[in-house]
Amino acid sequence: MALEKLGKKDIISRLSDDVLIHILSRLQTKDAVRTCVLSSRWRNLWTLIYNFYFDDGEDDPFGRCPNFEKFVSGVLSVCQSKDVHNFYLDCTMISDDEISHVIPWISFAVERKVRNLNLKVDMDRAGVWLVRLPQSILTCSSLVELTMLSDCIFDIPDSSVVCFPSLKIIFMSIRSPDGNLMKKLFRNCPILEDLSIHGSNLKNKDELTFDINVPTLKMFRIWLGMEYYVSKHKYVITARDLECLHIKDFTSSNFLVNDSPFLDVASLDVHEMPGAIDEMDELEVNRAMELLRGINCTKSLSLTAYTMEFLSLAIKDNMPTFPIMIDLELGIKASFGWKLLPHFLSSSPNLESLTLEMNHRVECALQGFLPFESKSVPSCLRLHLKVIEITDMRGICGELEVIKYLLKNSEVLEKLEVNFASSMKKKYLRRQILNYYRGSPTCEIKFI
């Protein structure tokens, strides 16, 4: 339809092809295709889209569409874009007959210079089936970001060939991974910066060592869970330029961080298996402490209450020193949190900011309560600590005593911020805290 024939108010159809293609490329491909019937102006516009989002509708309340394979193949056969930006393929319900088409679809994306490839092809109920990716993906120079939400296999040659020349970001979800293949994959990515691994219920029976040796890596996140069990697997992280490390692990896995990287941020949420302490050998009990030892050169550290619980099993006089740590955030359960806090304070000579997140989810059993005891005043309190934040305070299990101690001994403190869990006792607690002696005369106290 010529533009002058358009309705007066039909401004959208007058927008340039470029703009309309941007708009259509932001839609699920199915929705983009549906615009073809709007008017003749729109009929072929969708064939120029540069992003593809195919979802076979597993989550669709109407159930999965039977013609998914036909649709994807049909769309790709008329697609005119030579530069594909994003290619998402989510076909968790794909049938055995259709599976042979998946490889040509991925090959299509690779040929059209895909930058961001996101695959979830996960149809085998037993979790045995693996996606074998086309060989062309190894040399794909446009690919920057790769997300694999199902176990994928590549045929990476043994010789040290450079693969994935432009790949910077990998997100992978693993269920029955091949440790050897993963090692080869990471080793062969020359500029990989950001790696996330998500593993749940790893099915491998053998003990695996995941060798994550990536000299260019800056960001590493790993999430292992959900079921609590003591994992046999070992994760060895060798990345001297690492800046950020986030570990969330419900499986008491064995982590080893080599080379003491200088980190900006590290956060740990590692759980011991509840009640399994008797079944754990000494090495397993020490796992959280060993991990902490590997990341002691971090500017900022965040540990959940569960991590503190795990650490408390192994604490003797073996706390590592944190020479450059400025920010520390600790989850505190009174039964062991106060026991660990003095160790952290005396091991962090340059600490400037301390956040204590009270965790009362399990009511503090008084017999398990370990009071805060500190023999000598740690130097960070006298020289560096400027900000203390306490969240979810209830005024029980030694909270007030700790605040009293910190206020008295923090000589350069600028601010104490207290966030109460409820308004009960709030007035009383405020009055108590305001009455405490302050080692730093300029300290401001804020209640929220």
Identify whether 226 is preceded by a cis peptide bond (ω within 30 of 0).
Answer: yes
Q: With CB under 8 A as the contact rule, which of the stretches 38-46, 91-99, 190-198, 246-254 interacts with other proteins?
A: 38-46
Our finding on whether 80 is near other proteins (CB under 8 A) is: no
DSSP 150: S
DSSP 82: S
For residues 337, 338, 342, 347, the Cα torsion angle rounded to the nearest 10 degrees is 10
DSSP annotation string for 125-141: TTS---EE--GGGGG-S
Of the candidates 13, 166, 213, 216, which one interacts with other proteins according to CB under 8 A? 13
Our finding on whether 15 is near other proteins (CB under 8 A) is: yes
Instruction: Give the shortest CB-59-to-other proteins separation in angstroms.
Output: 12
Our finding on whether 36 is near other proteins (CB under 8 A) is: yes
Nearer to other proteins, 37 or 126 (CB): 37
CA angle 230, 239, 157 (to 5 degrees): 85
Instruction: Give the shortest CB-219-to-other proteins separation in angstroms.
Output: 16
Nearer to other proteins, 6 or 181 (CB): 6
Instruction: Give the shortest CB-49-to-other proteins separation in angstroms.
Output: 11
Instruction: Give the shortest CB-418-to-other proteins separation in angstroms.
Output: 24
Of the candidates 3, 7, 376, 435, which one interacts with other proteins according to CB under 8 A? 7
Question: Of 415, 445, 448, 421, nearest to 433 (Cα)?
Answer: 445
Q: With CB under 8 A as the contact rule, which of the stretches 56-64, 314-322, 420-428, 435-443 interacts with other proteins?
A: 56-64
Nearer to other proteins, 35 or 350 (CB): 35
Our finding on whether 27 is near other proteins (CB under 8 A) is: yes
Hey, what are 121's tokens?
A: 């092809």
Hey, what are 128's tokens?
A: 């045995």
End-to-end CA distance of the chain: 62
Our finding on whether 60 is near other proteins (CB under 8 A) is: yes
Instruction: Give the shortest CB-67-to-other proteins separation in angstroms.
Output: 5
Question: Which position has the token pair 């419900």?
Answer: 250
CA angle 394, 397, 398 (to 5 degrees): 100
Round to whole Å and give the CA distance between 317 and 422: 37
Q: Are 208 and 176 in contact (CB under 8 A)?
A: no
Backbone dihedral region of 434: left (phi > 0), alpha (psi from -120 to 50 degrees) or beta?
Answer: alpha
Neighbours of 98 (CB within 10 A): 17
Of the candidates 3, 49, 57, 262, which one interacts with other proteins according to CB under 8 A? 57
Our finding on whether 35 is near other proteins (CB under 8 A) is: yes
Of the candidates 48, 58, 71, 445, which one interacts with other proteins according to CB under 8 A? 71
Nearer to other proteins, 55 or 249 (CB): 55
Our finding on whether 30 is near other proteins (CB under 8 A) is: yes
Our finding on whether 11 is near other proteins (CB under 8 A) is: yes
Instruction: Give the shortest CB-62-to-other proteins separation in angstroms.
Output: 5
Of the candidates 3, 4, 19, 181, which one interacts with other proteins according to CB under 8 A? 19
Our finding on whether 179 is near other proteins (CB under 8 A) is: no
Q: With CB under 8 A as the contact rule, which of the stretches 12-20, 170-178, 214-222, 343-351 interacts with other proteins?
A: 12-20
DSSP 448: -
Q: Which of residues 359-418 bind other proteins (CB under 8 A)?
A: none
Question: Of 362, 355, 425, nearest to 394 (Cα)?
Answer: 425
Hey, what are 95's tokens?
A: 């049938």
Q: With CB under 8 A as the contact rule, which of the stretches 2-10, 104-112, 315-323, 376-384 interacts with other proteins?
A: 2-10
Backbone dihedral region of 157: left (phi > 0), alpha (psi from -120 to 50 degrees) or beta?
Answer: beta
Contacts of 424 (CB under 8 A, 6+ apart): none
Instruction: Give the shortest CB-104-to-other proteins separation in angstroms.
Output: 18
Nearer to other proteins, 66 or 441 (CB): 66
Our finding on whether 39 is near other proteins (CB under 8 A) is: yes
> Which residues sit at the interface with other proteins, rule CB under 8 A?
1, 5-7, 9-13, 15-16, 18-19, 22-24, 26-28, 30-31, 33-40, 42-43, 57, 60, 62, 65, 67-68, 70-71, 74
